[in-house]
Chains A and B, each alone.
Chain A
Amino acid sequence: MPKYVMVIDQARCVGCMACVVACTLENSVPPEHYRTRVIEMVTGDFLNLRSEMRPELCNHCDDAPCVTVCPTGASHHKPDGTVQIDRSKCVGCKACIAACPYNARYINEEHGYADKCSFCEQRLRVGKQPACVATCIGKSRIFGDLNDPESEVSQKLRDNSYRVLKEAAGTSPNIYYINQFPKRM
């Protein structure tokens, strides 16, 4: 069984937002809601600036609070490690939205269920990469199977130091960030 994760090489992200539009159209995300976003953070003073591009999405946590708090079992883990939502079971109580430390979920107002990144389940089923990965202009987003030692994600995580977001939240997230700031001359 695969274990799907995403590795994000932040140095290669140019903040072009191609991923955001790809996701929105692939998944019919309602206006003003996002399953993924790109945060640009700049620190330091003039002449000594440092910038970080940070794509964010559902972390498909191993210890996912959204799954724990869900009263109906709509939010659940799949055997491939991803966190998914069974829309027919969701009652729109928003407990998961409150529980998620990553602000990754929203309510689809038209249909009343909670929604979020599914790693484009529908695309995985037919052998495609998630839409954000497939279109990523900088090849900053890398998706794959952590159980396969030869996969690109496994290799990347072997060869680089990485971090996860909000490790202290204790949810064992599965989006890994690699960031190498440019070497100063």
Chain B
Amino acid sequence: MIFSRRKFLKYAAVSAGSTLLAETPFLPARAREKVKADGSDVRYVPTTCEMCFWKCGVIAKVVDGKVVKLEGNPRHPQSRGRLCARGQGGIGLLYDKDRLKVPMIRTGPRGSGPRGENRYKQASWDEALGYVAKKLKEIAAKHGPEAVGLFAHGSSGTYFNNVVRAMGSANVAYPSFSQCLGARDVAWELTFGIKPNSTCERVDLANSRVIILFGTHLGENMHNSQTQEFAEAVGRGAKIIVVDPRYSTAASKASMWLPIKPGTDLALLLAWINIIISEGWYDKEYVKQYTTGFERLRKEVEQYTPAWAAQETDLPMDKIVEAVREIGRYAPNVLLHPGRHFSWHGNDTQRGRAMAIINALLGTWGRPGGLWLPPKVNLPTFSENPEHPEAKQDPVVFGDYPFAGGEGLTQELRKATLTGKPYPIKAWIVTGTNLIKTMPQQELTRKAIDSLDLLVAIDVMPTDTVMHADVILPECTYLERHDGLFTITTREAGIAIRQPAVKPLYQSRPGWWIGSELCKKLGLAQYAVKDTWEGRMRRQARTWGLDYDRLARVGYIPLTGSGRPYITKTNQPVFHTQSKKIELVSSDLDDEDFDVIPHYKPIEQPKKGEYRLLYGRSPVHTFTRTVNDLWLWELKKENEVWLNKHEARRLGIKDGEKVRLKNQDQVISDPIRARVTERIRRDCVFMVHGFGQHSPAMTRAYNRGADDQQLITRCKIDPICGVTGMRVNFVKILREA
């Protein structure tokens, strides 16, 4: 690099003062805070991004009170000085003309005529919060506090979780479990006793020699530091093996692309386990020292031969064998990536178990190039409010699933709302999640909403779900508020901060303030924030022995010495399982009468003329959150449906032509352009999730592309942890007249 730090400083020293002072974020706060460069007031504010949930460190450049540029904080391990397109596009969210600006209360009677129209009246915060509190109190008095449920995603979930629990309800559900990574986390907890993820997946990509990705489309799935390390691995010449029905960006970087028949991943994984054991690729010492159940696993997977797997997965047998030998050859400095969005086919926990087992056999946990060990963080607990009361009735959000996670199952909350069983749910608070686009079976979500006495939405943008609400509370963006402190655990732990770059625009307010004021209005002032969130953060920092002012100045402070990523004689891994070892045979699953070792059961495949609907991500968007952002919208305005070239020819569909998709339940999608390509198998189609907004208030995104969730009218529930497998819908393609 030509601008070494030293050279830069030298340069800075000899150059004329103020412009340079203004340009560098490395100077003390007082010097940085108010510097007049060519007459303008330039400030640099370190904070934390929330364009997705990776929690990158950001430095906001603010000129004359306006955020003009966002850059990655070089100190922060999640961004390392770089930001993705979305991170930089945060300015587009902040200054989006379509933002929610004032509190609004629905005026028209519920259920009369289409929603999403402007049948709201503007209200003061006092009036809106008073109205919400009055309604919530009425509902709690009539049905019990458990009748109030919360759906949340992102930082603001904390504040409304507090409200709901303070009232005495534990009906809280985060789609991130049921619709995303729940099954993966459960699978790894059953096997290793710990999730593979805290702030990020603990994958040591930078040092890996062979990386296998199952559908994980790094690059399109833009998680900053992880993608940086993936590119590093590619640049170093690490072998990448991608198992994906679609030739993803990651597949284009791969030494081997295995276009597997969708839904048969477990067959491939079981055959690999068999080969790893029978050909002796496993780490004998490691297996002996750290695992239990090896002998039983060996016997039970003998049946899964490569020839059988080849037939089942539609992959060539020699490739199946070659791939696993390659990862075996370089073990333990290898990695079978645990994945992230994992709710695929309804057998997802067992698929995750098989992936965890392969990592265990190859000894990747705690090894360079495998998964690093979690850092040790010993921070005193900090709380300024009394404990929440115990909910009098069991929450509905765990259903009958013994391993449903603490984040709750969204669809169980919806089900209870629809059926009134085991008890009525009459109010939803929804924050940071566009439920209608997030949950499968949209019609059920709509019906559930119709049956509510109160729907309160706290959000930044007028999404489809927000425009169904009775009361809309405009939250300010992450660039206008305090959140945290955040404990960031990567190879080493550290503490990060979110602080406002600018004051809240319009009448929007921070989530903490809205939650806190709501507590007061509910007569639960003991659960409110004492003064301000910043005040609370200062006290928290003091309790943790951190210099808050320094944190505010630099954005991230590492907890030096907390990380010991690899196994050594004096740094032994701890497994929180029943046996305190890695459980190849799961005792927890045994207790609940599930298969203790994963076994393969074929899933339904599409009939001739049908395609399995797959969905995924674009690097410039986060679900539906970013589709209206000027800078990101410009780069990707609508999604396309990827269709194999030969199938397109058979159907007479041309590239770029508008089509509709019709699923097995006769539901027809909005129009979407066909992307005719060699990059996908013939038995499936793919589209990017997040498009097809039906809220006209999102003026840019409105009616652009199609919504995959429209077509996900069927889901297969994983019996172990209750997540909703969503890649089980089949579509036909209709040409637009």
Chain A positions within 8 Å of B, measured between CB atoms, are 2, 9, 11-18, 20-22, 24-26, 31-32, 42, 44-47, 49-51, 53, 126-129, 134-140, 143-145, 148, 151-153, 182-185
Given A137-B224, A185-B322, are A17 and B219 also a contact pair (CB < 8 Å)? Answer: no
Q: How far is the CA of A143 from the CA of B2 in the complex (A)?
A: 8
- Contact between A137 and B228, CB atoms less than 8 A apart: yes
- Contact between A21 and B11, CB atoms less than 8 A apart: no
Total A-B contacts with CB atoms under 8 angstroms apart: 152
- Contact between B88 and A138, CB atoms less than 8 A apart: no
- Contact between B84 and A18, CB atoms less than 8 A apart: yes
CB contact list, B591-626 vs A, under 8 A: 619-620
Q: Which residues of B contact A127 (CB under 8 A)?
A: 3, 7-8, 11-12
Q: How far is the CA of A9 from the CA of B81 in the complex (A)?
A: 19
Q: Given known contacts A45-B678, A136-B82, A152-B1, what 12 new A-B pairs fall within 8 Å (CB)?
A: A11-B253, A12-B235, A15-B219, A18-B83, A21-B631, A22-B83, A22-B88, A46-B247, A126-B23, A137-B227, A183-B237, A185-B326
- Contact between A144 and B630, CB atoms less than 8 A apart: no
Given A139-B235, A185-B323, are A128 and B619 also a contact pair (CB < 8 Å)? Answer: no
Q: Which residues of A contact B240 (CB under 8 A)?
A: 182
Given A20-B635, A25-B68, are A51 and B2 also a contact pair (CB < 8 Å)? Answer: no
- Contact between A16 and B84, CB atoms less than 8 A apart: yes
Q: B391 within 8 Å of A by Cβ?
A: no
Can you report 22 residue pairs joining A to B where beta carbons are below 8 Å apart? A11-B235, A12-B234, A14-B227, A14-B249, A14-B253, A15-B219, A17-B620, A18-B83, A25-B631, A42-B252, A42-B678, A42-B679, A49-B679, A126-B23, A126-B24, A127-B3, A129-B3, A137-B82, A137-B231, A139-B231, A145-B2, A185-B322
Instruction: Pick the contact of A14: B87, B219, B247, B644 (CB < 8 A).
Output: B219
Chain B positions within 8 Å of A, measured between CB atoms, are 1-3, 7-8, 11-12, 15, 19-20, 23-24, 68-72, 81-85, 87-89, 91, 218-219, 222, 224, 227-228, 230-232, 234-235, 237, 239-241, 247, 249, 252-257, 259, 322-323, 326, 619-620, 630-632, 634-635, 644, 677-679, 681
Q: Which residues of B contact A184 (CB under 8 A)?
A: 255-256
- Contact between B2 and A25, CB atoms less than 8 A apart: no
Instruction: Pick the contact of A183: B15, B20, B255 (CB < 8 A).
Output: B255
Closest A residue to B233 by CB, please name it: A12
Q: Which residues of B contact A185 (CB under 8 A)?
A: 239, 241, 255-256, 322-323, 326
Closest B residue to A140 by CB, please name it: B231
Of the listed residues A2, A9, A20, the one surrounded by the most CB atoms of chain B closer than 10 A to its CB is: A20
- Contact between A46 and B678, CB atoms less than 8 A apart: yes
Closest A residue to B680 by CB, please name it: A46
Q: How far is the CA of A127 from the CA of B84 in the complex (A)?
A: 22
- Contact between A47 and B259, CB atoms less than 8 A apart: yes
- Contact between B252 and A49, CB atoms less than 8 A apart: yes
- Chain B nearest CB from A129 CB (Å) reads 6
Q: How far is the CA of A21 from the CA of B88 in the complex (A)?
A: 7
Instruction: Pick the contact of B247: A51, A53, A139, A182 (CB < 8 A).
Output: A51
Given A12-B235, A185-B255, are A137 and B84 also a contact pair (CB < 8 Å)? Answer: yes
- Chain B nearest CB from A164 CB (Å) reads 20
Q: Which residues of A contact B23 (CB under 8 A)?
A: 126, 128
- Contact between A12 and B88, CB atoms less than 8 A apart: no
- Contact between A18 and B228, CB atoms less than 8 A apart: no
Of the listed residues B227, B322, B630, the one surrounded by the most CB atoms of chain A closer than 10 A to its CB is: B227
Q: How far is the CA of A143 from the CA of B235 in the complex (A)?
A: 17
Q: Which residues of B contact A25 (CB under 8 A)?
A: 68-70, 88, 91, 631
Q: Which residues of A contact B631 (CB under 8 A)?
A: 21, 24-25
- Contact between A128 and B89, CB atoms less than 8 A apart: no
- Contact between B255 and A128, CB atoms less than 8 A apart: no
- Chain B nearest CB from A95 CB (Å) reads 28
Closest A residue to B68 by CB, please name it: A25
Q: How far is the CA of A127 from the CA of B23 in the complex (A)?
A: 9
